[in-house]
Chain A
Amino acid sequence: MDMIASLSLGFSVALDPMNILYCFIGVLLGTLVGVLPGIGPTATIAMLLPITFSLSPAGALIMLAGIYYGAQYGGSTTAILINLPGESSSAVTAIDGYEMAKKGRAGPALATAALGSFFAGTVGTLLLAFFAPPLARAALNFGAPEYFALIVLGLLMSIALAHGSILKALGMIVLGLLLGMVGQDIYTGQPRFTMGVRELYSGLNFVSVAVGVFGVAEILRNLENEKGRDVMVKAVKNLWLTKDDFKRIIAPVLRGTALGSVLGILPGGGHILASFASYSAEKRLSKHPEEFGHGAIEGVAGPESANNAAAQTSFIPLMTLGIPAHPVMALMVGAFILQGITPGPNVINDQPALFWGIIASMWIGNVMLVLLNLPLIGLWVKLLSIPYRALFPAIVLFACIGCYSINQNIYDVYAIAFFGVLGYVLMRFGCEPAPLLLGFVLGPLLEEHLRRAMIISRGDATVFITRPISATLLGLAVLAVVIAVLPSIRRKRKEVFVEDD
């Protein structure tokens, strides 16, 4: 079947009034749960699975997919407005997005996120429509050594996440890597650093860590110097982007989309790297790297686009090979099966109407999201006029309820308290939380792939440089370090010469 026929079949399914309705319900719900911290798309899709029983397969899957990418939109809203990221991707958005909000530029930050996401979502959907099978094949060339090399590259690039001391950023990354190792070792089952608590066997919950080091730590800091004034009085300047803003976001959106699209296809954890990688790239390429961390609009545009492109392309391994790239995709597998369709390589041929219908609906969903979110910006910004003293108790409550609802695990709630204090102390003494979170999400992957690569190669470490993709990635990692270190060496030399004179 040629592409035009396929796509028109897809649109005929997606434009069915009932399916449009399900798509709308999906993206609306997705936006709402994305906005609420804690309750992420995984929990929502799990809760809604029973409801989708009674729907047609296309309707059910269109709605569930809508929840997923809708949540990607919504998640950035909370990160920007109240510094409460619900997912690793929005942790990056929080860095500069929240700073923009503090300066009264929440409107442009939200608009940038929406526009960047829309563009990236569209490109991601096109890739899914035109190149899904070959791309999925290409991604299969990634084995354990390649993923290990990719993660090393990501970690070294991400030193750029910090705007203060590089040493402290490194320390936070390593601390994050270590925290990520709490829980049962997947190779031997050995519980590590769990202090005998069975609830910690599956590790610390990302949302608890993120909500602690970002949200709660920020609240504790704001409670420091209350002298009769409220902390977050914001003169909201404008809601929309200026001409200059537009000029500044075009290139980051394009680069973020490209980066995110590529990383999203890799089923072994590529999507996690997308927004971090984009942020690092933008900071490197920027003429004003010092603005990053203080409200640089590029720091919102790039990562948000990367994140949404990756969200879209992470459907590629699922739709073409039946392989889930992450927990949400695993849930989608469950949803397919409940509808009586086993996802796998044959879906594209056996169920063309379903396959193309879902793809077409993704684009329609993205249009709906942008139409839904742009008018909402005004409302969200108004939310900031709620006095902070009334807002922060709500943030604390939402954080607790959200984290508890994910696994009904009370240790997830205790973890918020621990990481709130830790994040606050570290922040107060000059360490930033973003590198810690990156380390935390990548730590388990780094170890998993390293150990797997070594087992498969039977202890032969040269596997990392004899396999071309892995060798290239490691080469880039070395290059990244050299580029990062060179300027400071040169500066030091100058200083030495100055002292010699």
Chain B
Amino acid sequence: MAVSYFSTKDLVSGGIFVVAGAYFALEALTYEVGTAFRMGPGFMPLFLGAVLTGLGIVVAAGGWKKPDTDERFTPSWRGIGLIIGVVMFFGATIRGLGFVPVVFVSSFAAALSSRLNSPLFAVLLAITLTVMCTLIFVIGLGMSVPWFGPWLGM
């Protein structure tokens, strides 16, 4: 496989830079670039996007003939899925469900993203965190968020 001649590290990070740089530069083309006197909103992002794309290519090319040496990339898909899911869930429901249910469900799911945690432990942890967070943020700091939200019909 040709890829084995490459450092995956350099190839992937370079690739991310190229993609991000290209996105910003292309999107910036739709904004006004302006003049030296009055630079438009597109000027800086276009310039920096091009620089980032260039850097990405150089980084990726730098990985040529430098095969990976260190350990392989073994992400915990369960961890990523649950943690990211928890954060998205929190954002999507905090206004509708209210503080207490959202914090309880979130901490329960977050705890389960580690294989070391049993469901029972997750429940206990969720209860503890819910009480703690409500005390600190809602009662202590007076955060303006309902305990139970309008979706619960109360």
A425 interface hit (Cβ, 8 Å): yes
Question: What is the size, in residues, of chain A's interface with B at 8 Å between Cβ atoms?
Answer: 68
Binding site for B on A (CB under 8 A): 33, 36, 39, 44, 47, 165, 167-168, 170-171, 174-175, 177-178, 181, 185, 187-188, 190, 192-193, 216, 219-220, 223-226, 228, 230, 389-390, 392-394, 396-401, 404-405, 408, 410-411, 413-414, 416-417, 420-421, 424-426, 428-431, 446-447, 450-451, 454-455, 458-459, 461
Q: Is there contact, CB below 8 Å, between A404 and B94?
A: yes
Smallest CB gap from A430: residue in B: B9
Smallest CB gap from B50: residue in A: A174
Which residues in A have their C-beta under 8 angstroms from that of B131? none
Q: Is there contact, CB below 8 Å, between A178 and B83?
A: no
Q: CB < 8 Å: which of B9, B111, B137 contacts A389? A: B111
CA distance A446 to B95 in the complex (A): 36
Chain B nearest CB from A331 CB (Å) reads 16
Which residues in B have their C-beta under 8 angstroms from that of A228? 116
Which residues in B have their C-beta under 8 angstroms from that of A413? 87-88, 90-91, 94
Q: Which 10 A-B pairs have the closest CB atoms?
A: A459-B37, A223-B79, A413-B91, A393-B110, A185-B41, A417-B87, A190-B41, A410-B91, A223-B76, A429-B13
CA distance A250 to B124 in the complex (A): 46
Q: CB < 8 Å: which of B28, B36, B41, B103 contacts A187? A: B41
Given contacts A167-B55, A192-B27, A394-B107, 5 further A-B contacts (CB under 8 A): A185-B31, A185-B41, A224-B75, A400-B106, A414-B91
Chain B nearest CB from A252 CB (Å) reads 31
Q: Is there contact, CB below 8 Å, between A411 and B76?
A: no
Q: Is there contact, CB below 8 Å, between B84 and A420?
A: yes
Interface set, chain B 23-75, CB cutoff 8 A to A:
24, 27-28, 31-32, 35-41, 43-45, 48-49, 51-52, 55-56, 58-59, 62, 73-75
Chain B nearest CB from A158 CB (Å) reads 15
CA distance A452 to B151 in the complex (A): 48
B117 interface hit (Cβ, 8 Å): yes
B135 interface hit (Cβ, 8 Å): no
Q: Is there contact, CB below 8 Å, between A223 and B39?
A: no
Q: Is there contact, CB below 8 Å, between A417 and B79?
A: no
B114 interface hit (Cβ, 8 Å): yes
Smallest CB gap from B28: residue in A: A192
* 8 A-B pairs whose Cβ atoms sit less than 8 Å apart in the complex: A188-B32, A226-B115, A226-B116, A390-B121, A393-B111, A417-B91, A429-B10, A450-B44
CA distance A149 to B40 in the complex (A): 20
Q: Is there contact, CB below 8 Å, between B48 and A178?
A: yes
CA distance A404 to B91 in the complex (A): 8
Which residues in B have their C-beta under 8 angstroms from that of A47? 141-142
Chain B nearest CB from A379 CB (Å) reads 16
Smallest CB gap from A448: residue in B: B44
CA distance A487 to B35 in the complex (A): 39
CA distance A430 to B60 in the complex (A): 12
Binding site secondary structure of chain A: helix
CA distance A420 to B85 in the complex (A): 12
Q: Is there contact, CB below 8 Å, between B55 and A401?
A: no
Binding site for A on B (CB under 8 A): 8-10, 12-14, 16-17, 20-21, 24, 27-28, 31-32, 35-41, 43-45, 48-49, 51-52, 55-56, 58-59, 62, 73-76, 78-80, 83-84, 86-88, 90-92, 94-95, 103, 106-107, 110-111, 113-117, 121, 125, 129, 132-133, 136-137, 141-145
CA distance A260 to B79 in the complex (A): 40
Chain A nearest CB from B91 CB (Å) reads 3
CA distance A170 to B24 in the complex (A): 17
Chain B nearest CB from A412 CB (Å) reads 8
Given A393-B111, A405-B137, A410-B92, check contact A175 B59 (CB 8 Å): no
Which residues in A have their C-beta under 8 angstroms from that of B73? 428-429
Chain A nearest CB from B104 CB (Å) reads 10
Q: CB < 8 Å: which of B17, B75, B103 contacts A397? A: B103
Q: Is there contact, CB below 8 Å, between A226 and B55?
A: no
Smallest CB gap from A174: residue in B: B52
CA distance A44 to B140 in the complex (A): 11
Q: Is there contact, CB below 8 Å, between B36 and A393?
A: no
CA distance A219 to B6 in the complex (A): 28
Which residues in B have their C-beta under 8 angstroms from that of A397? 103, 106-107, 110, 129, 133
CA distance A392 to B145 in the complex (A): 24
Chain A nearest CB from B106 CB (Å) reads 6
Q: Is there contact, CB below 8 Å, between A190 and B12?
A: no
Smallest CB gap from B45: residue in A: A181
Chain A nearest CB from B69 CB (Å) reads 12
Chain B nearest CB from A417 CB (Å) reads 4
Q: Is there contact, CB below 8 Å, between B24 and A193?
A: yes
Smallest CB gap from B40: residue in A: A188
Q: Is there contact, CB below 8 Å, between B92 and A174?
A: no
Smallest CB gap from B35: residue in A: A459
CA distance A458 to B43 in the complex (A): 17
Q: Is there contact, CB below 8 Å, between B20 and A175?
A: yes
Q: Is there contact, CB below 8 Å, between B115 and A36?
A: no
Q: Is there contact, CB below 8 Å, between A411 and B36?
A: no
Q: CB < 8 Å: which of A190, A220, A400, A421 contacts B31? A: A190
Which residues in B have their C-beta under 8 angstroms from that of A165? 59, 62
Q: Is there contact, CB below 8 Å, between B80 and A389?
A: no
